[in-house]
């Protein structure tokens, strides 16, 4: 019995809670954590009791009588730390163990107090760990040298990201100041690649994944409303209103601007028919107080229905209570994201999740269906992690040097080499990076040691040094002294223009460029705000599934009549090309004066093919919504060029170098790439934007099957010419 393995104060906590039984992930975690010395990844759905699964055994096992912090909880969000603080404090109530929040907004005097007599449990962000290594390395040793457990919450949010590599490096550095090796417990949602999650725990112990596969019933339905390019179709909004009016609903429309449009327009419909007034928008540009109010409303009222149009701000584990249904408008950019959103619905035990997917165009319908079918097959995109994160190694080199008052070069290199975040980078690759940092005055030789250079001081003494990501600059939006939120400065921002923000409409009264502030008044009609963003990366498997849906002829019971009709149109459009094997064949339409190639592959491979066309001087244009290339060449000419495309791959490095020489900022695709010598900057860009090996494999295996567009089939692809967003 796992319960009997717990320490007495923790058993008392469980008894006081009057739980009927421990949840499966909790029983498994208690059993394994308390009877082995391994690291664990605990993977299960939102609200399945993961926090307790980690903390019940960890708090039982840690020796809080010894000095120093014993349990370090790391979270990607301050809001999650504040949430979890209350739960962890309650878990600790029978233990007389202090629990301390340590992040940029946490109480400074409580932090100072803890430094006098460090003990218990600490909740922290990766950036705050970085800041402590940089500014107060003696505090790192004082607080963490007796650490026994590290719990990483929402570990999936770090996978495949630069922030994740930084966290891994910080964990590796923490292990080296530790007297023993601490154990790592990672908490994760269901993800596509557990091997990558395991690397976060490091090589010092075996890491095991405990996966709760309890199935969840999902009621899913697709609805199709052919849409204009700018605003959502009115018929869709009316349908959406009726769908959500008697529920607690979350709507994910993929962008902040569209979230505003949905919130404002549904609220207007509701006002007209005397429905409930609880329509909100929730995304990073809505003021924090307003967002917290929305979260509080969702969590604390059981009587009233509500509807929140939101972005990924409501994907992570902040507890907003029970939601009856989740609505996705047009395809999500990944299956992983769809899974997270789905997890928000039907959170009460046993309750089914309800998911409604709207599509406003044929390609969006296909992509949404592809995501759903792949999810049901058990596929989630594996996150793509940098194989050789030279840029973060450079940033961490500065962090290490800053934390010392001088360090010998070979010692610095040994520390970086021993860091498991950079295991893939060879020792002889590190020296050129250090030399480049010296050449650019980021580092400086002082006798036999290295210190931060004059230019480097500006970098490490900036508060921006502690994070792995960049943020755009926004103008604050203020109404009569109240902060509404913030928007980027775009041509839309003009006096007397009306905009939507925080589910309300505002007229711009005054723009203060110096203070970056926009003063607004209440208005009745307006446009959704424009946000500047780059398109997301779609996985090759999703695109291939879209092609399979076209060519299999399968029927799906989750489609409404309009979706079925639209699918028929798409299928008939492609009938001219007799694809038999969608894994290796792709359609090509020859209109006589140009070719249209449907690649049905990942965003990165498309980027690479476009680059190869450009290098070879093939006149072509890529149409993102249809995932197709238009090539102005005759069929025979093109096929000759296509066959020689693999040979052009070797020219990519030279081309990108030449481009970077003339346009250096173009090669800085990540925050810290600017610290690197040019060839390494290009190596980073090649991984983030392109997929060289994937393209090589694509070119080797895929053949285009041509169809001639003649008098008789002029009509095909007519539906594709009126896509939303097509330039």
Residues forming the site for DNA (CB under 7 A) = 76-79, 103-105, 125, 127-128, 131, 135-136, 163, 229-230, 254-257, 283-285, 311-313, 333-334, 337, 461, 463-464, 466-467, 469-471, 531-538, 603, 624-625, 627, 724-725
| Minimum distance of DNA from residue 580's CB (angstroms) | 27
Question: Of 257 and 389, which has the nearer Cβ to DNA?
Answer: 257
What three-state secondary structure class fits 151?
strand
Question: Of 288 and 448, which has the nearer Cβ to DNA?
Answer: 288
| Minimum distance of DNA from residue 285's CB (angstroms) | 6
Question: Of 7 and 623, which has the nearer Cβ to DNA?
Answer: 623
Question: Of 296 and 469, which has the nearer Cβ to DNA?
Answer: 469
What three-state secondary structure class fits 397?
helix
| Minimum distance of DNA from residue 535's CB (angstroms) | 4
User: What is the chain's percent helix, strand, coil content, to nearest 5?
Assistant: 45, 20, 35
Question: Of 62 and 675, which has the nearer Cβ to DNA?
Answer: 675
Q: What does DSSP say about strands 504-512 and 517-522: parallel, antiparallel, or unpaired?
A: antiparallel
| Minimum distance of DNA from residue 469's CB (angstroms) | 4
Strands (E), 190-276: 207-211, 218-224, 248-252
* Interatomic CA distance for residues 4 and 323, integer angstroms: 35
* Interatomic CA distance for residues 131 and 153, integer angstroms: 20
Residue 248 exposure: Cα atoms within 13 Å on the Cβ side: 21
Please list, in sequence order, all residues whose beta carbon lies within 8 angstroms of the beta carbon of residue 718, skipping any fewer than 6 positions away.
573
- Report the candidate in 124, 130, 133, 111 with the shortest Cα–Cα distance to residue 78: 124
Question: Of 534 and 555, which has the nearer Cβ to DNA?
Answer: 534
Please list, in sequence order, all residues whose beta carbon lies within 8 angstroms of the beta carbon of residue 274, skipping any fewer than 6 positions away.
none
Cα–Cα distances in angstroms (integers) from residue 123 to residues 139, 300, 324, in the given order: 15, 25, 31
* Interatomic CA distance for residues 54 and 40, integer angstroms: 9
| Minimum distance of DNA from residue 452's CB (angstroms) | 14
Question: Of 676 and 723, which has the nearer Cβ to DNA?
Answer: 723
| Minimum distance of DNA from residue 606's CB (angstroms) | 8
- Report the candidate in 301, 224, 231, 226 with the shortest Cα–Cα distance to residue 261: 231
Kindly report the number of other CB atoms within 10 A of residue 276's CB atom: 13
How would you classify residue 308: left for phi > 0, otherwise alpha for psi between -120 and 50, otherwise beta? Answer: beta
* Interatomic CA distance for residues 261 and 527, integer angstroms: 8
- Report the candidate in 205, 208, 183 with the shortest Cα–Cα distance to residue 197: 208
Question: Of 76 and 146, which has the nearer Cβ to DNA?
Answer: 76
Question: Of 91 and 338, which has the nearer Cβ to DNA?
Answer: 338
Question: Of 432 and 488, which has the nearer Cβ to DNA?
Answer: 488
Question: Of 13 and 133, which has the nearer Cβ to DNA?
Answer: 133
* Interatomic CA distance for residues 350 and 328, integer angstroms: 22
Helix axes 50-61, 24-35, angle to 10 degrees: 30
| Minimum distance of DNA from residue 145's CB (angstroms) | 18
DSSP state of 396: H
| Minimum distance of DNA from residue 466's CB (angstroms) | 5
Strands (E), 341-388: 353-359
Question: Of 445 and 614, which has the nearer Cβ to DNA?
Answer: 614
Please list, in sequence order, all residues whose beta carbon lies within 8 angstroms of the beta carbon of residue 437, skipping any fewer than 6 positions away.
394, 397, 398, 443, 453, 456, 675
| Minimum distance of DNA from residue 238's CB (angstroms) | 21
Give the CA-trace dihedral at 160, 163, 165, 170, to 10 degrees. Answer: -150
Question: Of 32 and 163, which has the nearer Cβ to DNA?
Answer: 163
| Minimum distance of DNA from residue 127's CB (angstroms) | 4
| Minimum distance of DNA from residue 567's CB (angstroms) | 20
| Minimum distance of DNA from residue 236's CB (angstroms) | 15
Residue 98 exposure: Cα atoms within 13 Å on the Cβ side: 17
| Minimum distance of DNA from residue 467's CB (angstroms) | 4
With beta carbons less than 8 A apart as the criterion, state whether 346 and 352 touch.
yes
Q: What does DSSP say about strands 443-446 and 449-452: parallel, antiparallel, or unpaired?
A: antiparallel
Which segments of 574-717 does DSSP mark as H helices, in order? 603-616, 635-643, 645-648, 652-662, 678-689, 692-701
Question: Of 64 and 475, which has the nearer Cβ to DNA?
Answer: 475
| Minimum distance of DNA from residue 595's CB (angstroms) | 19
The CA-CA-CA angle for residues 16, 22, 25, to 5°, reads: 140
Question: Of 204 and 623, which has the nearer Cβ to DNA?
Answer: 623
Question: Of 331 and 589, which has the nearer Cβ to DNA?
Answer: 331
| Minimum distance of DNA from residue 665's CB (angstroms) | 18
Residues paired with residue 452 on neighbouring β-strands, in sequence order: 443
| Minimum distance of DNA from residue 76's CB (angstroms) | 6
* Interatomic CA distance for residues 36 and 587, integer angstroms: 55
């Amino acid at each position: 019995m796992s319960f009997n393995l717990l320490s007495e104060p923790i058993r008392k906590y469980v008894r006081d809670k009057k739980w009927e039984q421990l949840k499966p992930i909790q029983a498994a975690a208690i059993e394994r954590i308390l009877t082995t010395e391994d690291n664990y990844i605990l993977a299960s759905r939102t609200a399945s009791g993961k926090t307790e699964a980690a903390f019940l055994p960890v708090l039982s096992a840690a020796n809080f009588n010894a000095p120093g912090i014993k349990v370090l909880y790391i979270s990607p969000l301050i809001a999650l730390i504040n949430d979890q603080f209350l739960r962890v404090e309650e878990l600790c109530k029978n233990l007389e163990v202090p629990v301390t929040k340590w992040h940029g907004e946490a109480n400074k005097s409580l932090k100072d107090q803890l430094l006098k007599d460090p003990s218990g449990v600490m909740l922290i962000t990766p950036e705050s760990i970085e800041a402590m290594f940089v500014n107060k390395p003696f505090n790192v040793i004082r607080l963490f040298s007796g650490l026994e457990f590290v719990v990483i919450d929402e570990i999936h949010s770090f996978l495949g990201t630069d922030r994740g590599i930084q966290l891994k490096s910080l964990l590796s550095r923490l292990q080296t100041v530790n007297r023993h090796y601490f154990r790592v417990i990672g908490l994760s949602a269901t993800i596509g690649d557990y091997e990558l999650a395991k690397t976060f725990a490091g090589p010092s112990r075996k890491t095991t994944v405990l996966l709760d596969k309890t199935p969840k019933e999902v009621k899913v339905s697709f609805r199709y409303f052919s849409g204009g390019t700018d605003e959502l179709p009115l018929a869709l909004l009316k349908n959406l209103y009726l769908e959500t009016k008697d529920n607690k609903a979350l709507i994910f429309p993929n962008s902040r601007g569209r979230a505003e449009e949905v919130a404002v327009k549904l609220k207007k419909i509701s006002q007209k028919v005397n429905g409930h007034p609880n329509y909100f928008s929730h995304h990073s540009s809505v003021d924090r107080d307003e967002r917290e109010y929305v979260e509080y409303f969702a969590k604390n009222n059981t009587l009233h229905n509500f509807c929140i149009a939101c972005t990924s701000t409501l994907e992570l584990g902040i507890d907003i209570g029970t939601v009856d249904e989740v609505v996705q408008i047009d395809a999500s950019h990944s299956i992983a994201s769809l899974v997270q959103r789905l997890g928000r619905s039907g959170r009460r035990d046993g309750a089914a999740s309800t998911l409604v997917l709207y599509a406003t165009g044929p390609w969006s319908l296909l992509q949404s269906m592809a995501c759903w079918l792949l999810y049901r097959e058990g596929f989630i995109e594996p996150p793509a992690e940098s194989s050789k994160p030279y840029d973060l190694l450079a940033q961490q080199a500065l962090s290490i040097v800053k934390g010392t008052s001088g360090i010998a070069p070979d010692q610095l290199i040994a520390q970086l080499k021993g860091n498991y975040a950079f295991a893939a980078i060879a020792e002889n690759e590190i020296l050129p990076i250090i030399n480049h940092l010296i050449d650019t005055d980021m580092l400086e030789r002082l006798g036999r040691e290295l210190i931060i250079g004059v230019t480097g001081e500006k970098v490490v003494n900036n508060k921006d040094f502690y994070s792995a990501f960049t943020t755009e600059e926004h103008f604050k939006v203020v109404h009569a002294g109240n902060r509404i939120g913030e928007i980027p400065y775009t041509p839309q921002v003009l006096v007397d223009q009306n905009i939507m923000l925080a589910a309300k409409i505002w007229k711009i009264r005054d723009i203060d460029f110096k203070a970056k502030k926009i003063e607004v008044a209440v208005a009745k009609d307006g446009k959704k705000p424009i946000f500047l963003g780059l398109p997301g990366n779609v996985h090759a498997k999703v695109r291939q599934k879209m092609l399979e849906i076209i060519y299999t002829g399968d029927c799906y019971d989750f489609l409404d009549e309009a979706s079925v009709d639209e699918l028929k149109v798409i299928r008939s459009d492609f009938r001219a090309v007799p694809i038999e094997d969608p894994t290796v064949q792709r359609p090509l339409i020859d209109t006589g004066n140009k070719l249209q190639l449907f690649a049905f592959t990942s965003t990165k491979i498309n980027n690479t093919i476009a680059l190869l066309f450009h290098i070879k001087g093939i006149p072509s244009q890529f149409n993102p919504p249809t995932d197709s290339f238009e090539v102005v060449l005759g069929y025979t000419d093109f096929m000759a060029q296509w066959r020689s495309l693999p040979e052009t791959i070797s020219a990519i490095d030279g081309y990108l170098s030449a481009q970077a020489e003339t346009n250096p900022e173009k090669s800085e695709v990540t925050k810290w790439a600017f610290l690197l010598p040019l060839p390494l900057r290009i190596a980073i860009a090649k991984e983030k934007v392109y997929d060289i090996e994937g393209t090589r494999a694509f070119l080797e295996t895929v053949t285009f099957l041509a169809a001639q567009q003649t008098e008789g089939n002029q009509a095909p692809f007519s539906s594709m010419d009126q896509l939303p967003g097509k330039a």
